[in-house]
Amino acid sequence: MTRIINLGSKAKKVDVLMLRRSKAITYDVPTFTPTKYIPVKISSEEKTKDDAVVIYGAGGHSKVVYDILKLMKVGVVRIFDDNVKEIEGHFVENTSLQKVKSDIIITIGDNKARKRISNSLKGSFATAIHPDSIIDSTSKIGEGTVIMAGAVVNASSKIGKHCIINTLSSVDHDCVIHDYVHISPGANLCGSVEVGEGTHIGAGTTVIQGMKIGKWVVIGAGAVVIKDVSDGDTIVGVPGKKIK
């Protein structure tokens, strides 16, 4: 079972926990579970450990995800990281996650690290969505993805697994965002854009409509992408040009 933590918006603030209760469906690219959401109201008194999640990673990104969970009144059972630290009074463990039964969110900004860790873990992943983001009801959001404050995902777009849709970024209609992508703060993807696995879209980037961006691409901050981009390229500038 994949858990979606809020699909709210400024226009409709409802404190609910959205649960997906149907089997996974395989799409051509990427793989998503079907968009069928059953709202379940959960008060703070009713919450148990089964309603909470585990955070994997204790860096800066984890602090933002932790705040999203607090806003949605979803508990955090445990926090894991290679370095023992403390976040908001939570002790950070560096033991194995293999026996954890709660849903997991991998709160690490590095795309390759998120892929490596997700492939090494067994179990289910939570998907955290800030209450002040706007998610169209026809879009699909993959497991483990985090959508932050002010982000917009418009009609018929598909967001893959373990993506980061960062603060005030926008994904317009009919986009396909593959797994492990990071769309940085303030980036804007126009309609029908496809972004390949593991790609990093830098802060303030603009990608015009219909562009195809390959796998494991790096788009520098503030770039304007007006041409398709091949796998592994690094693009900077206005208009965007390949530098390696």
Q: What is the pTM of this model?
A: 0.77
CATH code of the domain containing 78: 3.40.50.20
pLDDT in tens, 100-155: 667 889 999 999 999 998 998 877 898 999 999 999 999 999 999 999 999 999 99
The answer to whether residue 123 is domain-embedded is yes
The answer to whether residue 60 is domain-embedded is yes
Report d(CA 241, CA 132) in Å as an integer.
34
Say what the pLDDT of residue 2 is: 41
The answer to whether residue 192 is domain-embedded is no
Catalytic residues: 173
Q: How many structural domains are present in the chain?
A: 1
The answer to whether residue 190 is domain-embedded is no
pLDDT in tens, 212-241: 999 999 999 999 999 999 999 999 999 999
Say what the pLDDT of residue 38 is: 24
The answer to whether residue 175 is domain-embedded is no
Long-range contacts made by residues 71-76, C-beta under 8 angstroms, separation at least 24?
71/130, 71/131, 72/5, 72/6, 72/15, 72/17, 72/128, 72/131, 73/15, 73/42, 73/44, 73/47, 74/5, 74/17, 74/47, 74/128, 75/47, 75/49, 75/51, 76/52
The domain in which residue 35 lies consists of 3-127
Phi then psi for residue 98, to 5 deg, are -60, -30
Tell me the pLDDT band of 187, cut-offs 50, 70 and 90. Answer: very high
Chain centroid offset of residue 87 CA: 21
Tell me the pLDDT band of 173, cut-offs 50, 70 and 90. Answer: very high
Mean of the per-residue pLDDT values of the chain:
78
Return the amino acid letter for 212.
K
The answer to whether residue 54 is domain-embedded is yes
Residue 156 DSSP label: T
> What dihedral do alpha carbons 200, 202, 203, 209 form, nearest 10°?
-90
The answer to whether residue 47 is domain-embedded is yes
User: Rounded to 5, what percent of the chain is helix, strand, coil?
Assistant: 10, 30, 60
The answer to whether residue 91 is domain-embedded is yes
